[in-house]
């Protein structure tokens, strides 16, 4: 049986990606390799050398999906699910979960709340390298990992043959020119870039900054654990301690060995001035929340929900944690503009993704609230545990507007623990979509909710 699908691609140039989204096993299918780039062009960002913006193009535009993996000694992919496997003790025994032997013979297989591989692959290859010219290159970077946040830098290796970071230089600055859904308000120069799962960043790196023959290593200074918002910077912090006996501090290498071609290098950061934000009047403000509860077996179960009582499309009043299957609570009107205030009540950051829309990140602000336990229905008729919020209070003088690399059209955003993150979006595509945490293990169990645009 065949089906045909039509994609109009009626939006400005941007870097999308596609992957298998099968309910409950998305993490496994992406891990197996079912993912790819989907790059849209327009009259300015044409992908050709003569594009009006002077962007590096054709052989000087590169695309890298960065992921973490585990391997057996045979080279096969390995994925933890049984007693003795990495993180099993943390997420099963450590949470007090009880897995009945008739459903989990031998203790598994079972879903675990997060996955952190011990090796990094780029476009499916372990620690690749690329030969480049001493000039500007455009790079589309995608974090295709399950749970891992990366903090990327570029450093000159101690020698052209180095495979580690011993003796490497200080980080080299580069330009961030866009994000998930297109080019930014302006180019932002950074030397470290935080990128969460599913997030895309569009960068330009100038390889003429280093001597010919140099090797540049793209490294990672985010840890092998859930991201909580602190990225180094603490007194006494030692990157070597963070990655002791680990190999996830290196992503890939670039060897500046190609001779400079005659193709003009026309990139100028001043040409990036595209994104003006969402200036439409606001029709509605929704108060939503991120929770961590427990399923019927006591396993950690991340959940979405509301931060205040809400009426769903069936007329029921609901509040707090909601699993995947109950009636829709997010039902924006067609062509309406909404601000979603999303309160993160958990201890970790979550990359929240909204389908079929782009949004403006407005700001973040600290809050306090009382967490009140409540039952959460499970898909099989059993009951787990969740929460709802009472007495939400914003903390004075903590509001931080979005700046820099986040001033671009987005479809996924880092939501930090203990903060409310505000995003603004206009819903211009009728139909049923989803919003979810893009930690794929969270999405599958079960931090995802349907939403419907227009009359149900």
- List the domains of the chain with CATH numbers: 47-79+115-271 (2.60.40.420), 284-453 (2.60.40.420)
User: What is the average pLDDT across 176-189?
Assistant: 98
User: What is the average pLDDT across 429-442?
Assistant: 97
| Res 247: pLDDT | 85
**Alpha carbon distance 36, 65 (integer Å):** 8
Side-chain half-sphere of 41: how many Cα atoms within 13 Å? 13
Beta strands in 326-454 (DSSP E): 337-344, 350-354, 359-377, 383-394, 400-401, 412-415, 419-426, 431-437, 448-453
| Res 245: pLDDT | 63
Which candidate, 182, 209, 194, places its Cα nearest to that of 55? 182
**Alpha carbon distance 415, 98 (integer Å):** 31
| Res 120: pLDDT | 96
| Res 256: pLDDT | 98
User: What is the average pLDDT across 138-164?
Assistant: 97
| Res 262: pLDDT | 97
401, 422 contact by CB (below 8 A)? no
pLDDT in tens, 389-433: 999 999 999 999 999 999 999 999 999 999 999 999 999 999 999
DSSP 8-state class, residue 90: I
User: What is the average pLDDT across 257-275?
Assistant: 96
pLDDT in tens, 57-77: 999 999 999 999 999 999 999
My answer on whether omega of the bond before 446 falls inside 30° of 0, hence cis, is yes
| Res 246: pLDDT | 74
Q: Rounding to the nearest 10 degrees, give the CA dihedral for residues 11, 17, 22, 27.
A: -150
What is the per-residue burial (b if ≥16 Cβ within 10 Å, else e) of 210-231? beeebbbbbbbbbbbebbebee
| Res 1: pLDDT | 85
Percent of the chain with pLDDT over 70: 97
Q: Is 72 helix (H, G, I), strand (E, B) or coil?
A: coil
| Res 243: pLDDT | 54
User: What is the average pLDDT across 141-162?
Assistant: 97
Q: CA dist 317 to 309, 339, 377, 432, Å? A: 6, 21, 15, 21
**Alpha carbon distance 290, 208 (integer Å):** 45
Name the pTM for this structure.
0.95
Query: 80: pLDDT confidence band, cut at 50, 70 and 90?
Result: very high
| Res 241: pLDDT | 54
Q: Residue 240 pLDDT > 80, yes or no?
A: no
| Res 237: pLDDT | 43
| Res 7: pLDDT | 87
Q: CA dist 68 to 16, 145, 221, Å? A: 20, 6, 14
**Alpha carbon distance 296, 142 (integer Å):** 35
Which candidate, 372, 410, 428, 421, places its Cα nearest to that of 180? 410
Tokens of 51: 């594009």
User: What is the average pLDDT across 346-358?
Assistant: 96
| Res 273: pLDDT | 94
pLDDT in tens, 115-141: 999 999 999 999 999 999 999 999 999
Q: Residue 379 pLDDT > 90, yes or no?
A: yes
Q: Residue 277: phi, psi to the nearest 5?
A: 80, 180
Q: Residue 282: phi, psi to the nearest 5?
A: -90, 130
Beta pairing partners, 230: none
Which candidate, 278, 324, 298, 243, places its Cα nearest to that of 424? 278
**Mean pLDDT across the chain:** 95
| Res 452: pLDDT | 98
| Res 231: pLDDT | 63
Which candidate, 409, 403, 407, places its Cα nearest to that of 426? 409
Percent of the chain with pLDDT over 90: 92
Tokens of 26: 């998305």
User: What is the average pLDDT across 246-263?
Assistant: 95
């Amino acid at each position: 049986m065949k089906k045909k699908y039509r994609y109009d691609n009626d939006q400005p140039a941007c870097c999308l990606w596609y992957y298998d989204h099968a309910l409950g096993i998305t993490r496994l299918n992406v891990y197996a390799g079912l993912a790819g780039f989907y790059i849209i062009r327009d009259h300015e960002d044409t992908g050709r050398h003569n594009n009006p913006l002077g962007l590096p193009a054709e052989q000087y535009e590169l695309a890298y999906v960065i992921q973490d993996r585990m391997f057996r000694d045979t080279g096969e992919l390995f994925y933890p699910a049984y007693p003795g496997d990495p993180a099993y003790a943390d997420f099963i025994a450590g949470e007090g979960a009880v897995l009945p032997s008739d459903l989990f013979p031998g203790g598994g297989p079972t879903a675990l709340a997060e996955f952190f591989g011990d090796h990094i692959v780029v476009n499916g290859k372990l620690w690749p390298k690329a030969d480049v010219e001493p000039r500007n290159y455009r790079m589309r970077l995608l974090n295709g990992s399950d749970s891992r946040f990366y903090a990327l830098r570029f450093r000159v290796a101690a020698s052209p043959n180095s495979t580690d970071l011993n003796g490497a230089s200080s980080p080299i600055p580069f330009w961030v020119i866009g994000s998930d859904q297109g080019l930014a308000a302006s180019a932002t120069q950074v030397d470290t870039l935080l990128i969460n799962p599913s997030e895309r960043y569009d960068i330009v790196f100038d390889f003429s900054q280093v001597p010919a023959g140099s090797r540049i290593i793209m490294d990672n200074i985010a840890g092998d654990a859930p991201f909580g918002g602190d990225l180094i910077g603490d007194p006494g912090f030692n990157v070597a301690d963070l990655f002791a006996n680990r190999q996830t501090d290196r992503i890939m290498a670039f060897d500046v060995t190609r001779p400079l071609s005659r193709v003009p290098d026309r990139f100028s950061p001043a040409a990036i001035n595209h994104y003006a934000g969402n200036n439409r009047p606001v029709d509605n403000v929704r108060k939503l929340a991120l929770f961590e509860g427990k399923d019927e077996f006591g396993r950690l179960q991340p959940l979405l929900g509301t931060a205040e009582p809400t009426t769903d499309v069936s007329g029921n009043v609901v509040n707090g944690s909601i699993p995947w299957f109950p009636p829709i609570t997010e039902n924006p009107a067609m062509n309406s503009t909404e601000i979603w205030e999303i309160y993160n009540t958990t201890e970790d950051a979550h990359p929240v993704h909204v389908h079929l829309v782009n949004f403006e990140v407005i700001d973040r602000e600290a809050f306090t609230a009382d967490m009140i336990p409540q039952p959460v229905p499970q898909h099989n008729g059993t009951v787990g545990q969740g929460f709802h919020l009472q007495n939400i209070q914003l903390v004075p003088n903590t509001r931080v507007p979005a700046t820099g690399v986040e001033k671009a059209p987005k479809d996924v955003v880092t939501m930090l623990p203990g903060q409310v993150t505000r995003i603004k979006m206009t819903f211009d595509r009728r139909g049923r979509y989803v919003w979810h945490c893009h930690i794929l293990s969270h999405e599958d169990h079960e931090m995802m909710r349907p939403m419907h645009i227009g009359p149900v």
